[in-house]
Structure 1
Amino acid sequence: MKRYPLLICLLIGATLALNLSASDADTRSSGRLLPDKEATATLADRDGGSFGMVWSRRQSSPPPGRYWCPGTGVVRDTIYFLGGRVDYGGGNTNSTRTIWAYVPATNSWITTGLPTLLVPRRAGGGGRIGNKIYVAGGRDSTHTTLNTCEEFDVDTKTVTQKAPMPGAGCWACASAVAGDKLYIIGDENNSGNTYEYDPAANQWYT
């Protein structure tokens, strides 16, 4: 007699499990609830595989184009590009001192009224701190690795030499800004060196 309550409980539990499984299957088939993989596939199919993200081509930068810009930053919704490498055609490529700016709101480029860097520079590191953009390291037009650092003040439109990086500098490095300090990490030689620049003290730390 004592076994009957236990048997009844087992039967009730099995019945509930079957009902829940059937309900879940009905819900999935109706499209009200989809597992992660099915939901992802449905979203991808609906948006042509783009997941709702759409790229649009904007106004091209003035010729010649550039790459390896060592310093970029956004100040008051304007994107500034410092230095880089330009291709003049015929195999003539060189580092540049120019600073350009792009205004997304008007889809336009600013190439006049801006200063130039003190030295041609490409493939260094940099970032924005306040209304100033810093750039350090990289290589010049003679392929010499640089350890110099420059500050571009967006408000005054001036470029100032700052304290140099420790050692010979670096190029092909990564950079980021955190806590109002610039960090430059690694280089082409896989050194793993990490440099911290504090603009308030105009000092580098390793």
Structure 2
Amino acid sequence: MRRLHNALQLKQLALLKQMGYRYTDVKPSDLDPEPAQLPDDLEELRRLVEQCHLCDLAKSRHKVVFGEGDPHARLMFVGEGPGATEDQTGRPFVGRAGELLTRMIENVLHLRREEVYIANIVKCRPPGNRVPTPTEAFTCRPYLLKQIEIIRPRIIMTLGATAYRYLTNDETPISRVRGHIIQSDHYTLVPTFHPSYLLRNPSAKKQAWEDLLKVKALLEKK
């Protein structure tokens, strides 16, 4: 959060300079540390994220993968990070794992993909599809938290261990926590396996389907 605040602070100073101000015109009190203020509008937030260079992932990305779906969705999916196809298209979950996620949404929840919102812990592809580092994840997490604040989903389904860990700060293995219904102040969280894991381990699809049925039941109650 501190790095994000500093970056926004520098951006503001650059804007003031373009308007004719000198840096010496800024009082020290004007630079007192405050929490970084992110836009309350989803499209404004998207534009900010697309210009982000706060971590090393920005050096190798082709496109920022902000997220997509219904901005007022009751259900939100959170994955780990973009893959190669997502990095080229700028859209989340459009590769093989994305095709499976779409089928899960349509066939189990009986929703259209456009009716949910899909995002990731990090908005840029980690090289080689590796797991994001803690620095990368925590640098990018304020953007995800702001998305959640704006969209206000009633249910969030985390996909895989990385998404669950960095959204909750809980190190419990996904095999032990998946399918649990976790109530927070603002939404209900249901962790499950990542679709890419299901592609590698088809036998786990039954458990993921059971998790989705729990989400479906929750949606019908809310």
TM more than 0.5: no
TM-score in terms of structure 1 length: 0.26
Could you say which structure has the higher strand fraction? 1
Could you say which structure has the higher helix fraction? 2
Higher relative contact order (CA 8 A, sep 6+): 2
Whichever of the two has the greater Rg, that structure is 1
